[in-house]
Amino acid sequence: MSRVKIMKKKGNRRQRNLFVGISAGMLMLVAAGLLMLSYISTVANPAKVWFFSIFGLLFFPIAILNIVLLIWAAVRRSRLLIIPLLAVLPSLLFTGRYIRFGNSEAAEQNEVSASPSASVRLLTWNVDRFSYRKDHYASREACADSIFAYLRRQNADIICLQEYVTENPSQLKSFVQSRMPGYYIEYYLLKGRGIYCGNMTLSRFPAVGKGKVLFEDSSNLALYSDYTSCGRKFRIYNCHFESYAISMSNIWKSVTGDREILQKTENKYRRSIIRRPKQVNDVLAHIEESPIEALVCGDFNDNPMSYTYHRISHDLKDTFVEAGRGFGASYSAFWPMLRIDYVFIPQEWHAASHMTDRVKFSDHYPVVTDLVVGQ
């Protein structure tokens, strides 16, 4: 091969390497920027700057993209490695909200120290109006029977349900008591189109106080109940914050170019993320006025990289972070990392276990946690 051809070949290789390096650098900067925006989404109030929440919702896939770029740069021994490295490092503070490897020493200690006389099993579940898998059940009642059968097997002390629905509110108590004997029932339902829908709390302990927090211009609410158990008095907030109300079919139509559906989907998204901060702040303001310690659980309709999570976790502990194992995803639609159902407890309490049970009775999975009552 002539000297000219060799020089030309080396020149072409340099040009390719330069092009690959510039392209990779630009991609890394964009990916790093998106990841930084997802970090900001935890403290940015969507009511003021709504679009930050999109990056929080996409935190996990964005983080994976940065990790892939980090590995690529490491294999090529590229100086560009510093870009995804600096972007990914802060994510170590947040990934534990999505996935837990093994069990923490604190949870293991809580398991050892827990005793039936000082523990409470709490279950929270959005039952999707007993309308999930309509092709499988002949009626809402048939679906409800399957759900109540599951609840009996869990033997929980307190059960918080969201999107409980009935067409006959006068028969509600007898319907539930026949399926959940031994439980006291607290509920509040709002009238919809031919049905009544809301939150319900079942407990082995009689409520010594109860009430509700209604949200402005919304069919969502928080139901609270006061209990005395294990020598302590405490309040449980059973919350259902504003839903996106967006179906997978509409998302697909939006992606494939239906501009009318796209506009409606965007409006629903913006409305939900603007309403939730106000609803969360209403509940937190109510907690501040509570004379007793409070636990907060339910369907928050928001991910762990959200303003909602940031506000509630400021003074309360996430039981999944303390005692969870594996993936914490609690919603079966969209993608497998979507976690929107939570249990938060006071700092003095401890979680001995946390389980997200992937049963197919609702579009949400039930969350079950064993709690050690604070001393």
Strand partners, 370: 121, 353
Tens-place pLDDT, residues 38-92:
999 999 999 888 888 989 989 989 999 999 999 999 998 888 999 999 999 999 9
User: Comparing 230 with 134, which gets the higher pLDDT?
Assistant: 230
The pLDDT mean for the chain works out to: 87
Alpha-carbon span 2 to 319, nearest angstrom:
70
Residue 112: pLDDT band with limits 50, 70, 90: very low
Element (H, E) at 340: none
- CA distances in angstroms from 269 to 11, 20, 51, 154, listed in the order given: 51, 37, 10, 35
Tens-place pLDDT, residues 129-187:
998 666 677 788 889 999 999 999 999 999 999 999 999 899 999 999 999 999 999 99
Q: Does position 364 have pLDDT exceeding 90, yes or no?
A: yes
pLDDT of residue 35: 96
- Global pTM reads 0.89
pLDDT of residue 252: 54
Q: Does position 284 have pLDDT exceeding 80, yes or no?
A: yes
Q: Is the CB of residue 346 less than 8 Å from the CB of residue 90?
A: no
Q: Does position 117 have pLDDT exceeding 70, yes or no?
A: no
Residue 362 sits at φ, ψ, to 5 deg, of -150, 170
